[in-house]
Structure formats: structure tokens, C-alpha cells
Amino acid sequence: MLTTATDIDVLARFGRALADPIRCRVLLALRDAPGYPAELADALGISRTRLSNHLTCLRDCGLVVSAPDGRRMRYELADARLGHALDDLRTAVIAVETDRTCPDADTEGCC
């Protein structure tokens, strides 16, 4: 059963998903067009197993959906507006001090 997440939950899930560079790359690839795991893994230069783990995380976060396409699964952004949000975030100017890191930078995890 699908439910609608609250504003805070949506932002937290989006933030956790973006915390990993590979998941960012997957989201950017899916922003351009739906994709298939084997092709995405090749394009990103990672193993299919590793990609599968990241796709599971992104699906669990509610950012991507999967749909059967013949014998394969196709992945795409759950909402086209996520692509616009990614573009906005990519082009946002942020102020970063070169001698500082995010306190959560070393933590792993997903939604």
C-alpha cells in the first residue's frame, strides 16, 4: 500500500538518498530517461549487485519506481518533479568552507 509522506519525511528521504555519490549518479541518469539495471551499471561503471543495492534503497526511499518491461525491470523517477529538483540542487550555489566537512559525512545508511 502506498502512502503519502509528510514534508519533513520527504526531505529526509531525499537527503539520505543524495548522501551517497552513486545514488546521486543513478538519480541523475534516471532524470534523463528510464533505465534498466544492466545498462545503468555499465554506464556508471559499477557492478550490477552494487547497483541493485542502490536501486533498492532509492525505491525504499520512494524516489524511484520499477515496472516490468517484458523479462526486464525498468526503473524511473517516481515523480517527474524530482528531476527538476535535482536540476535545481545541482545548480544551487552553496557556501562551503574548505577546512570543514559535514559531521555526518562518514555515516552510511539509507532510508
Grouping H, G, I as helix, E, B as strand and the rest as coil, residue 70 is coil
Q: What confidence tens digit (pLDDT) does each residue in 16-40 have?
A: 889 999 999 999 999 999 999 999 9
- Separation of alpha carbons 21 and 1, rounded Å: 30
**For position 4, what pLDDT does the model report?**
62
Give phi and psi for 85, each to the nearest 5: -65, -40
- Separation of alpha carbons 27 and 76, rounded Å: 9
pTM confidence score: 0.79
Domains of the chain: 8-91 (1.10.10.10)
Could you tell me the sign of the dihedral formed by the alpha carbons of 20, 75, 88, 43, in that order? positive
